[in-house]
Structure 1
Amino acid sequence: METLIVQPKNKKQLLAIEAVLHALNVTFKKEQHYNAKFIDEMAKGEEDIKKGRLTRIEDVQNIWESIL
């Protein structure tokens, strides 16, 4: 048979697609292209940025002095 590659844009779409496949008794498998821990770390980093938990470096010529 054929293989379909589906790329939902969000969790809501993913859940809807899975529900339809279950209802039609279609077998499927989910694959992640990234390690789950990596995805969690990226999400945490984005949340930190939104909350202002970051370090801004104004003078890149003296980057090491800014950090230390």
Structure 2
Amino acid sequence: MPKLMLEIDTDLYHMLQEAARVNQLSLQDECTRRLEGGVRRSRYMEALLAELRADDAQRRAERN
């Protein structure tokens, strides 16, 4: 499976992590919530969500 490497702004990433914690969601779910909730769509959020999904799929494949 191809691996996607992203360079992300550390401050923005920490803000997303904090929002996920406050909303009692995983980081992936927080990204999805923002994308689906009418929050301004950004390529950054979509790329981060794609990377999180790929990581999750890879972990599942390694367990099986």
Q: TM-score scaled by structure 2?
A: 0.31
Q: TM-score scaled by structure 1?
A: 0.31
Larger CA Rg, structure 1 vs 2: 1
Higher RCO (Cα < 8 Å, 6 or more apart): 2
**Higher share in helix:** 2
